[in-house]
Amino acid sequence: MLHSQFDPAARQALAVEAVAAKTRKDLSWQQIADAAGLSVAFVTAAVLGQHPLPAPAARAVAALLGLDDDAALLLETVPTRGSIPGGIPTDPTIYRFHEMLQVYGTTLKALVHEQFGDGIISAINFKLDVRKVADPDGGERAVITLDGKYLPTRPF
């Protein structure tokens, strides 16, 4: 049976424990995702408390990280989502995403509505990919793909 969390504290504590284990074992998020058999973005979000893992994946992640059976069970629960507390984020990386949405949020909204109509892009039926590519001008660029199902607004 699938269970749900109503208080994010348990999953936050587990995330702290899991990241400490990841660091101690010198594992990458990709290695953890490989053990789970799921995408690196989904597994990372799950370990950080934003998604439930299917039971086999939860057990595999817990085993790799050296976490107990209770932790594996907790990894299966539906969390209370939302990892950024209210207000403007202070972490520079997260702030830049906030800034991008401040600058381009209305542009994205206008283009989505023009191309699709009135509706939203799902964060449930969703895929995320992060890649590092060479910048032709030198250095590196981040290519971030947000791939969500379009859900039209339906009059009722």
HSE (CB half, 13 Å, CA atoms) of 35?
20
Q: Find out whether 67 and 77 touch, Cβ atoms under 8 Å.
A: no
The Cβ of residue 47 has, within 10 Å, a number of other Cβ atoms equal to 27
Q: How far is CA 63 from CA 4, 31, 56, 75, 106, in A?
A: 22, 13, 11, 12, 44
Amino acid at site 97: F
d(CA 76, CA 91): 28
CB 51 within 8 A of CB 30: no
Residue 39 appears among annotated catalytic residues: no
Q: Which of 24, 28, 81, 122 is catalytic?
A: 122
User: Active site includes 11?
Assistant: no
Catalytically annotated residue among 11, 99, 140, 141: 99
Q: Is 96 marked active-site?
A: yes
Q: Rounded distance, CA 17 to CA 8, Å?
A: 14
Which of 83, 96, 140, 154 is labelled catalytic?
96
Residues that are catalytic: 96, 99, 122
